[in-house]
A and B are shown apart, each in its own frame.
Chain A
Amino acid sequence: MQITRRTAIAAIAALGVTAAPAVAQQYPTKPITAIVPFAAGGPTDVVTRLVTEHMSRTLGQQIVVENIGGAGGSIGMSRAAAAAPDGYTIAVGNMGTQSAAPALYPNLKYDPATSFTQISVVNYTPQTIVSKKTLEPADLKAFLAHLKANSEKMNYGHAGVGSISYVSGLVFNSQFGFKPGLVAYKGTGPALNDLVGGQIDYMVDQSMNVIPQITAGTIKAYAVAHPERIAALPDVPTTKELGVDFIFSAWNAMVAPKGLPKDIQDKLLDALSKAMDDPTIIKRYEDLGSTAPKGADRGPAGLQKLVESEVARITPVLKAAAAK
């Protein structure tokens, strides 16, 4: 019901301003599709639904989320890259699709740095270093020492090649020279389940996924791989304050097909900005252990910089892992 009424109002509004010269001033005149390249219910999907619901209100048009899963998100992003740059198709990719994908999929049909009109980072989710609750080390330093001595007998769980926990694990393990058994799961849920059950030893995963288990004490948290403590885990120290050089954040980013008119890009960014500044959404982000981009990090330039630097950082690690 709601939809038809909104459409009707928008149609009437559109008729009223037919005299306006630029097309973009009328934008949007019909519902916008937001492609999420993952299954519904995952971290990217949840964040997208949170912000697009708010953006719909600002723009006066419904934003319909379309989940197109497959190949670590690269199928959905390929389709987004090929869509018409008219502002009616946008997409929200993540660190995997916008940085790791070129190294993982040689036949990738898009280049994260050049195939899109960047809009903005939507959120960052710092990674948290966690282990099964029975692991002896009491703090991060002891944990790293324990891994140094025993990593070959230990097991790292991840949510499948190309997933965030796979990439962050590779970076973590290669940086410190750990060589654990890599246990692959289909998705974060089963991996986390086996971490809680003590079948695997440790993970480096998005705080969003592990916060409930940490606060309930079913798994142990050693550190958040972030410069500042996160609101949802006030008692968990950061790698920075412990003097360990490992900073790693997952992120989601809103993009549109390449060639999007500047005024439409601005409209979308403005709506997204309003959403990210909304107190309810700030609160939701905090609960998820997530933060919104601020200052220069927000907007197309910040996103472009992030994509380029992440591709440069992740590609060699993934290539080295694939060569093994």
Chain B
Amino acid sequence: MWDLISNLQLGLSVAGSLKNAGLCFLGCLIGTLIGVLPGVGPIATIAMLLPLTFGLDPVGALIMLAGIYYGAQYGGSTTAILVNIPGEATAVVTVLDGHQMAKQGRAGIALGIAAIGSFIAGTIATVIIAAAAKPLTTLALLFGPADYFALMVLGLMFAVVLARGSVPKAIAMILFGILLSTVGTDIETGEDRLTFGWMEIADGIDFAVIAMGMFGFAEILRNLEHKEARAVVSDKIGRLLPNMADFKASIAPILRGTGIGSLLGFLPGNGAVLGPFASYSIEKKISKDPSRFGQGAIEGVAGPESANNAGAQTAFIPLLTLGIPPNAVMALMIGAMTIHGIVPGPQIITKQPELFWGMIASMWIGNLMLLIINLPLIGIWVKLLRVPYRLMFPAIIIFCCIGIYSINNSPTEVVLTAAFALFGYLLIKLGFEAAPLLLGFVLGRLMEEKLRQAMVISRGSLWTFLERPVSLTLLVFALIIVIVSALPAISKSRDKVFTE
């Protein structure tokens, strides 16, 4: 306990210095900016800003880069809520109810609760990292490929709950997503799969390409159909910030989301993407009136946003304790550390305590700054919604095009996005939903990878999934979800929504 306090004190003294706090603020500001810009992800930005940090000391540089990372998570939800574009897998869920709220003139409330929820989640997650980073790492290492596979199966069950319409159509979309996830070079055999010989997609289709095409652009196409539909957003602007009643409705989802997000975030292998999905599914399941979900339920924003931010913070655990990156952004952070002459690894805590604890303390400071940056911005964002749609959509298109181009500096990806826009528009017309497809896409890739690893390791024995306690538990959970979903009462309530 004393250790923790003295360590945090050390961290705060490092992160709280005027220079580092300033860098943290700068990072959060840039992060918010790029998060708001669709497509421009933290990877491209951190890579481009890396040279600017050469002149800084390593601690300051890393604090700034970390600020960009979680700032981008915050900013991403703004775009998801305002214009229906999820920049990252974790923002897909925010779109569902967040954009509905914006359409109902409650954009400010959605943005506000997202910011407050994220702050609470970030604070709690920071404490968790400070107090339990080491034991959690040990725990995470027990997770083998078989356990991951089971986790992904469980995740796919969430996707069914996610759907607001027909269940068979939702399952079909999950399958479609999995099919799309298999496009690209097979990592085990090196074969080209479903690429039709097209080298540009040899590494698979980028998530942002699908998300932006199917959500952002397809939504524009749909809005262009009817004049009435798009007037809705700009007419009503309600309260700017959440009130006590909103807060009361959100606090429990925020805390649950934080718990779920933190738990999934520290698993190496990017378990963090599951957090928001899991949180949404749970909120919808335990809600007295699940039919409100997808129609602008505030819990559907508060829970997943908190899970997202908590996961973004605890994803630093494997990086800080093992020096092993759980996702591409963290890999870039490791690269940045290396350039600054720090070799990240398990010894960083003992050898560079001021860096380790400084980073952790900066996370909390960063979250506070994000709240300070974002709450006043809400007014501006909501005002942006008043821009006439005839001007808004060309602006969205140009931002998206530049953003997608910047992912890989490749025009091919821009063309692909256009294809997915058409595809997404077709799906809307046919009564399919995009969210389950995206979840299937994200999980499909991980699931196949883990299944094949598990099968090689067990030499083909399926028992491996039942012998391992973790995987067994997760599979039992998945089974329970299937049974609960199949219960007639629940399917009836879903039909009601469907025929609405």
- B-binding residues in A (CB < 8 A): 2, 39-42, 45-46, 49-50, 53, 62, 65-72, 74-75, 78, 104, 107, 155, 160-162, 181-187, 189-190, 192-194, 196-200, 211-213, 215-216, 218, 232, 283-284, 287-288, 322
Contacts and interface: CB of A to CB of B under 8 A. Distances in A.
A2 B343 CA distance: 28
B335 interface: yes
B453 A185 contact: yes
A213 B323 contact: yes
Given A183-B453, A185-B453, A288 B339 contact: no
B268 A69 contact: no
Interface in B304-350: 318, 322-326, 328, 331-336, 338-339, 341, 343-347
A199 B347 contact: no
A41 B335 contact: yes
Contacts of A2: 52
A15 to B, nearest CB: 26
A68 B331 CA distance: 16
B269 interface: yes
Question: Top 5 closest A-B pairs, CB basis?
Answer: A212-B345, A41-B335, A161-B190, A41-B332, A216-B346
A45 B43 CA distance: 13
B457 interface: yes
A45 B202 contact: no
B23 to A, nearest CB: 16
A41 to B, nearest CB: 3
Contacts of B203: 69-71, 75
Nearest to A166: B190
Given A211-B343, A216-B347, A199 B457 contact: yes
Nearest to A36: B47
Given A67-B47, A182-B188, A190-B269, A196 B449 contact: no
A320 to B, nearest CB: 14
B206 to A, nearest CB: 10
A62 B144 CA distance: 45
B456 A322 contact: no
8 contacts: A40-B47, A49-B339, A62-B51, A189-B331, A192-B324, A196-B324, A197-B143, A322-B190
A42 B323 CA distance: 13
A230 B456 CA distance: 34
Contact of B145 (A45, A198, A199): A199
A236 to B, nearest CB: 15
A171 to B, nearest CB: 16
B323 A41 contact: no
B186 A161 contact: yes
Given A187-B331, A192-B324, A71 B199 contact: yes
Nearest to A72: B185
B187 A193 contact: no
A65 B338 CA distance: 16
B141 interface: yes
A155 B322 contact: no
B497 to A, nearest CB: 37
A66 B322 CA distance: 29
Contacts of A287: 338, 341, 343
A288 B335 CA distance: 11
B456 A288 contact: no
A200 B457 contact: yes
A131 to B, nearest CB: 15
Nearest to B187: A160
B336 A41 contact: yes
B144 A41 contact: no
B193 interface: no
Given A41-B334, A197-B143, A190 B268 contact: yes
Contacts of A70: 199-200, 202-203, 408
